[in-house]
């Protein structure tokens, strides 16, 4: 049966190559990716809401609900067991995994990622995990694109484009935001915007959004009505809000990395579950808005018009009835949200930071405006408008994606009338955070390892190159105790002008340059008087086998050398790398990467 399937597929591939141009077939694949990602987004949202409704439909509004202590622990435990015993692979950090696949795995994403993140994240979030469903669905969409391209034997550049199509379709499908899906792919995944890539990305985004419109209506995800139009006199306060959102983004990014480090040091899954479960349960019990994605809280702050409405955010909590503590309550939520999200993922759950970014941004914008109004330091600032702008600000800062923040919030809420202040907040937030963090929360891990693909063409090509592909091993090695006569014999059997000197354990201890011994190599009376120790020199620098190509080029620039030796972490000699080999490899990758 498998053989028949393979034969049918192979016949179709041959027929396609003979009858359909590749650029036309890519458009067909991008359309299929759009449909697939939209269906995945619909299934994920339905599963989350079904689980949440089943678990919380009988909760009391005015009383403390002790099941808040239990549900999240059950959720991350079930998700952790599913990942450990069914998936048997790490599926966390979805967007980071996509970036890694693009830069280091030739855009190939494992097949199980087309469904595993949907199951794990729906369990996690449905039971109250304080994370978002968007990063898992973006990984799912990219996996659909990657595996569909691999099925039809598409080349590396096309796979990269289909991964971007999957991400664009996922964002467009789950948020009903086609423009944001396209911009997210360009800003966060750093897919190059060319004429050959623009149309497939648009097709996937529009197709996914259309399927979502057909299945769930054309209404924006969050209902928002602009009661008070934007006034130019508020621009200074909008800039201040952007700076505030940038600082909130910085706090979120660094606290998230710190908390993840704590959980990484808890070596066993059981310990992670206990610590994460206890932390998450306590936080949700004290602050019920931390339960799940937090979209109910966003809806409340965007549509409320008085303290009576806004104070309902304290329902189900120990703060219920203490209306004077509203701002304190919301500020504490901003402070502790990052720990709730970290506890969810660190304890074994699966989710992303899209929703936490929107949640924090909405509360931050609301608190900024409400606090200003309480102090009466300016004319009235409409809280709902600033809550909307805060969502764009924090998302722009955390993701380092100001355009994504602008278009996503505008499409999520229909708040196009606030386009100018959305842009101001997003840019102000982004400019604030890049002073402290040059990379987004998604890319910083890869950037530290030199594995991040960027829009910078030279750096992108170097990232796609690998040191082990340019190492040359046809150098004749010599040893310290060998005399000049032995070295001359080695020279006669070599086509190289450099000879690595290694000890008995094959560790590199120096090099011999032909130019350094040219004046004595034909004097036979010296053959037994000089040994290698006497005329060997140190290498200008050593390349580690784990070095990124960017570091390799930096060492070449620093030393002005034409050849440098490569060693492993213990110092064992592996070969040499030459500039000419790097340049040849660079040209090949550049042609393949840039061909349009």
In sequence order, what are the residues at sequence separation of 6 or more whose Cβ sits closer than 8 angstroms to the Cβ of residue 375? none
**Residue 513, φ and ψ in degrees, nearest 5:** -100, 135
271 CA to centre of own chain: 26
- Which residues face 575 on adjacent strands? 566
The DSSP symbol for 480 reads: T
Report which of 245, 247, 325, 251 is spatially closest to residue 287, judged by C-alpha positions.
325
Are the CB atoms for 528 and 429 separated by under 8 Å? Answer: no
Are the CB atoms for 362 and 391 separated by under 8 Å? Answer: yes
Instruction: Give 547-570 as a 3 state SS string.
Output: CCHHHHHHHHHHHCCCEEEEECCC
Whole-number pLDDT of residue 466? 67
**From the CA atom positions of the chain, what is the Rg in Å?**
29
Spell out the per-residue pLDDT of the chain, length 596, in tens: 555 556 788 888 888 888 888 888 999 999 999 999 999 999 999 999 899 888 877 766 556 667 777 888 898 999 989 988 898 887 877 777 787 777 666 678 889 989 999 999 999 998 888 888 888 999 999 999 999 998 888 887 888 899 999 999 999 999 999 999 999 998 888 776 677 788 999 999 999 999 999 998 888 788 887 778 888 888 999 999 999 999 999 999 999 989 888 888 887 888 888 999 889 888 888 888 888 888 888 988 888 777 777 787 877 677 777 777 889 999 999 999 999 999 998 888 888 888 899 999 999 999 999 898 888 777 788 888 999 999 999 999 999 999 999 999 998 887 788 889 999 999 999 999 999 988 888 777 655 554 444 444 445 445 555 667 788 888 888 888 888 888 888 888 888 888 899 988 889 888 888 877 777 777 777 767 778 787 888 888 888 888 777 778 788 788 888 888 899 888 899 888 887 777 666 555 555 545 44
H-helix segments, 178-221: 178-187, 195-216
Residue 31 CA to residue 363 CA, distance in Å, equals 37
> What are the structure tokens assigned to 430, written together?
């982004």
Predicted TM-score (pTM) of this structure: 0.76
- CA 76, 81, 83, 89 dihedral sign is positive
Strand, coil or helix: what is 191?
coil
Whole-number pLDDT of residue 465? 58
Whole-number pLDDT of residue 64? 60
459-594 — its CATH code?
3.10.580.10
In sequence order, what are the residues at sequence separation of 6 or more whose Cβ sits closer than 8 angstroms to the Cβ of residue 542? 508, 564, 565, 566, 567
232-455 — its CATH code?
1.10.3080.10
In sequence order, what are the residues at sequence separation of 6 or more whose Cβ sits closer than 8 angstroms to the Cβ of residue 413? 220, 221, 222, 223, 224, 302, 388
- Which residues face 510 on adjacent strands? 501
Whole-number pLDDT of residue 452? 47
> What are the structure tokens assigned to 349, written together?
């759950």
User: In CATH terms, is domain 19-216 a member of 3.40.630.30?
Assistant: no
177-182 contact pairs (CB < 8 A, 24+): 177/209, 177/221, 177/407, 177/408, 177/411, 177/412, 178/202, 178/205, 178/206, 178/208, 178/209, 178/411, 179/205, 179/407, 179/411, 180/404, 180/407, 180/408, 180/411, 180/412, 181/205, 181/208, 181/209
The domain spans of the chain are 19-216, 232-455, 459-594
B/e letters for 399-420, b = 16+ CB within 10 Å, e = fewer, are bbbbbbbbbbbbbbbebeebee
Are the CB atoms for 388 and 365 separated by under 8 Å? Answer: yes
Residue at token pair 């458009």: 27
Strand, coil or helix: what is 319?
coil
Strand, coil or helix: what is 396?
helix
Residue 283 CA to residue 271 CA, distance in Å, equals 18
The DSSP symbol for 471 reads: -
Residue 26 CA to residue 591 CA, distance in Å, equals 20
HSE value, Cβ hemisphere, 13 Å, CA-based, for 127: 25
Residue 245 CA to residue 238 CA, distance in Å, equals 10
Residue at token pair 């602008």: 406
Are the CB atoms for 535 and 553 separated by under 8 Å? Answer: no
Whole-number pLDDT of residue 448? 54
Are the CB atoms for 48 and 349 separated by under 8 Å? Answer: no
Residue 83 CA to residue 349 CA, distance in Å, equals 9
Phi-psi region at 217: left, alpha or beta (left = phi > 0; alpha = psi -120 to 50): left
Whole-number pLDDT of residue 40? 95
Greatest pairwise CA separation for the chain in angstroms? 102
- CA 135, 141, 143, 145 dihedral sign is negative
Say yes or no: do domains 19-216 and 459-594 share a fold. Answer: no
């Amino acid at each position: 049966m498998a053989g028949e399937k393979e034969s049918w597929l192979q016949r179709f591939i041959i027929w396609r190559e003979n009858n359909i141009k590749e650029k036309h077939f890519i458009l067909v694949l991008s359309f299929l990716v759009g449909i697939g990602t939209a269906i995945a987004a619909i299934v994920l949202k339905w599963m989350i809401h079904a689980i949440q409704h089943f678990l919380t439909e009988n909760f009391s509004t005015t009383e403390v609900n002790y099941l808040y202590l239990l549900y999240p622990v059950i959720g991350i435990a079930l998700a952790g067991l599913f990942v450990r015993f069914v998936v048997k692979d790490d599926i966390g950090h979805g967007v980071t995994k996509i970036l890694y696949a693009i830069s280091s795995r030739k855009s190939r994403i494992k097949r199980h990622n087309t469904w595993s993140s949907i199951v794990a994240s729906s369990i996690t979030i449905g039971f109250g995990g304080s994370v978002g469903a968007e990063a898992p669905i973006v990984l799912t969409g990219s996996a659909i694109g990657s595996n569909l391209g691999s099925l039809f034997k598409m080349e590396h550049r096309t796979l990269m484009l289909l991964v971007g199509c999957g991400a664009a379709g996922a964002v467009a499908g789950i948020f009903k935001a086609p423009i944001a899906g396209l911009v997210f792919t360009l800003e966060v995944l750093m897919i190059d915007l060319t004429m050959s890539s623009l149309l497939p990305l648009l097709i996937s985004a529009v197709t996914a959004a259309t399927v979502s419109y057909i299945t769930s209506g054309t209404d924006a995800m969050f209902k928002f009505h602009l009661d008070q139009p934007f006034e130019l006199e508020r621009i200074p306060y909008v800039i201040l809000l952007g700076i505030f959102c940038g600082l909130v983004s910085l706090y979120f990014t660094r606290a998230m990395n710190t908390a993840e480090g704590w959980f990484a040091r808890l070596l066993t899954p059981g310990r992670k579950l206990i610590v994460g479960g206890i932390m998450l349960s306590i936080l949700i019990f004290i602050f019920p808005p931390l339960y799940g994605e937090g979209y109910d809280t966003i809806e409340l702050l965007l549509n409320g018009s008085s303290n009576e409405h806004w104070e309902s955010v304290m329902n189900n909590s120990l703060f219920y009835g203490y209306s004077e503590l509203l701002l304190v309550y919301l500020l504490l939520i901003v402070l502790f949200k990052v720990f709730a999200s970290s506890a969810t993922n660190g304890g074994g759950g699966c989710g992303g930071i899209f929703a936490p970014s929107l949640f924090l941004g909405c509360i931050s914008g609301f608190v900024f405006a409400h606090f200003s109004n309480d102090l009466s330091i300016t004319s009235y600032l409409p809280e709902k408008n600033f809550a909307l702008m805060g969502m764009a600000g924090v998302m722009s800062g955390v993701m380092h994606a100001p355009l994504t923040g602008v278009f996503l919030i505008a499409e999520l809420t229909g708040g196009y009338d606030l386009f100018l202040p959305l842009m101001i907040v997003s840019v102000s937030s982004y400019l604030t955070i890049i002073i402290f963090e040059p990379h987004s929360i998604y890319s910083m891990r890869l950037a530290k390892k030199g594995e991040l693909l960027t829009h910078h063409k030279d750096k992108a090509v170097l990232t796609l190159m690998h040191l082990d592909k340019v190492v040359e091993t046809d150098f004749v090695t010599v040893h310290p105790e060998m005399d000049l006569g032995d070295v001359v014999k080695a020279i006669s059997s070599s086509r190289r002008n450099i000879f690595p000197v290694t000890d008995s354990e094959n560790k590199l201890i120096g090099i011999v340059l032909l130019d350094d011994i040219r004046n004595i190599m034909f004097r036979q009376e010296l053959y037994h008087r000089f040994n290698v120790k006497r005329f060997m020199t140190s290498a200008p620098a050593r390349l580690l086998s784990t070095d990124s190509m960017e570091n390799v080029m930096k060492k070449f620039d620093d030393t002005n050398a034409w050849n440098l030796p490569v060693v492993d972490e213990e110092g064992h000699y592996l070969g040499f790398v030459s500039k000419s080999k790097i340049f040849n490899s660079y040209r090949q990758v550049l042609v393949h990467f840039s061909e349009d």
